[in-house]
Structure 1
Amino acid sequence: MNVGDRGDLRHQRGRAGAAIALAAAVAALAGAVGSAPAAPVPYRLPAPLPRRASSPSIDRRAPYTPLVRSLIHQLEPTSPPTLPELTNAARIFQGGLGPAGANPTCHAVGAVAAPVGTNPSIAPLCWADAVGVNILNSPNRNRTTATPEPLAIGSSFDPKLANVWGQVEGAEGRRLMVTGLFGPEADVSVQPNWERGLDTLGEDPFLNDVMSAAQVDGMQAHGLMAQLKHFAAFSGANRYTLTEVADQALHEILLTPFESGFRRALAASTMCAYDEYRDTSRHLPGPPTAYGAGRSPYVHAPLRTWPLGEPHWACEHPLALAYTLRSLWHSIAFVGSDFPATHSTSAMVQGESQEFFTPTFF
């Protein structure tokens, strides 16, 4: 019996699953199912859910499509470059708390300024924190649907339900001018006393993989970018202490929950984590090609990452960001840091794309 089969059974028999389904259905269908106005509860169970939705397809030429290459060409500085040119081109590498001039319409945690002077123009980004769509201020504050803890969604064993909840987040986020959501969280709850345990889908890598991918599909079907987090090896780790992990455990427990989110659901982005870790295997492959070299039309000299077996912070660890994400899974998702989890300018070569929330290194 697969996860979906178990989900159907539990959805039909379990009151908890029905309650979660109801919350998602009410938000997604805007009260399409109701009873008489005099009834104390204005709905009936079971609540019908909208059809499952999927992420849009990706241009096979991405990320270097003709349009992207045209925009890059317009942003290339002169030789020698001027400070305004460099500042303009670098804007999209940095994000911050609140609008602060970066994006005045962004009332969430991650406003990202856009370079100016291009044709077509580049829209600024607005990232909201999860769980749900958290709007911090403005007249729309507290007007998004409150979610059950992801642990409750995971316990439903129902990927269709996770997909519908993703659709709720996608529809509400885009309506409030949010372009991306810091979620879902695919981490495995390895330690029962971990501070982030309630924000995970549970302790099973396969379950987390299926459920988080379903949520990514739902979000991105409505035009809201998903930033799958926290990549990688963050499950229960002390965020500022080195964690050593065996290669088998890394791949079977800590990386597995992310795989379908990138490979099947095509997550647009991922958030690298706070932790420092090292794969203890003595048989790792050599340093892979850094992201960009070999795929980018702008890099012509050989460019390799650091050795994969070295200890590094997650936001500059080539084992996850370059080898696993790019070479094994062939994902083009861009990598944004947690707040703040960037430790050096070298992170850009190792796989990080965007620094939050300070412009210290990028």
Structure 2
Amino acid sequence: MKYAQHLASEKLKLVQPTFQKGLMAIMLVGAVLVSVGCKPESKQDVQPQAAVMPAPVVMVANAKAQDVPLYINSIGQAVATEAVTIMPRISGQVVEKCFEDGAVIRKGQTLFKLDRIPFEAALASAEAQLAQSEASLDFANIELARYETIAGTNAVSKTDYDTKKNAVKVAKAQVAAAQASVRTARIRLDYCTITSPIDGRAGARLVDVGNIVRENDTAMLSIQKLSLIYAQFTINEQQLAQVRQYMSEHSLKAYVKLPGDAGQGVEGDVTFLNNAVEQATGTVRLRATMVNDDMHFWAGQFVNVQLVLKTLDDAVLVPQAAVQLSQKGQYVLSVDEQDHAQYRPVKTGQSHEQWIVVDGIKSGERVIVDGQLMVRPGGPVTIPQTAQATDVKSAQTSKTKAANAS
């Protein structure tokens, strides 16, 4: 018993130092943790807070209501309303040119003169033949009158009398033929003077003085009337039904301009629609007639043609820069009274200069024309006073100012 108590006392002595060492270790670790926990945070230990993004700066323009045309654009060509190629109606030698190349020509103005001598001789011969025929007729009438006085007697036979009557008829026919020959000779003599059949502008002469020209064969000059001019253009056959519908309701207008012209162009009336679709191209030819007194258009020039079908009343337009495209289709970002951006799906129509017709926006609403990339639908936006644009031009001016300021 005593031995057992002694053994337990010895074990206790061995355990106590070990326990004390462990306890001290635990207390040391706790002190270290407390000291670390109580240590003040350094600047490096402070985590930065997330910055609040400012509302993006945008520029806006007001949607507007305006009467605009429904149109078809096409490319055409200016064509003279009248064009003639001058050819001689007789053969002969050119002895005089009476105009300047490129000059304005009036109807009836002398252009060329041909040698008259052969035709004057032909006229003199015809007139001589006419005089001879008239003399023969006079003699035949005298003979017939003589025979008529004795026709009731047996002095002449009935056959002789009928011969005299026939001679008068033949002489009359010969006179008529001679008169026709004289008229023809005079006409051919008049053809020696070649005149213009229309008002217009002369091209370059094709023959010079001294040349021999052949009747109805030699081209001498081209004249084109440009004071009225055609704009000839085409539409595709899918547009034909629509064009015919509006043509049946009212006369169609077209606005024509050269590629470098500004503005809408010169107004013309659509005066011709071809009666067939061209099989090779699938197009139909139309023609607009315009006044061209100032010679702005020249025959052969390519022109831009806007065929107006009807007028859309109070159509809503926004700047083209306002219309964006997403996977869902076209949209516009509008700005409400609280300066928050709103997603607005739209359907677009035809463009008019820098504006485009839209369905889905009301007149007067503000739409974003620049800065859409940073805008979140439903989120706030910032609109500088310089960016309160009412049209495309002021919006572009505001954009330039904002860019310069940044």
Q: TM-score range by the shorter chain?
A: under 0.3
Q: Larger radius of gyration, structure 1 or 2?
A: 2
Q: Which has the higher strand share?
A: 2
Q: Which has the higher contact order (CA 8 A, sep 6+)?
A: 2
Give the alignment's TM-score, normalised by structure 1.
0.18
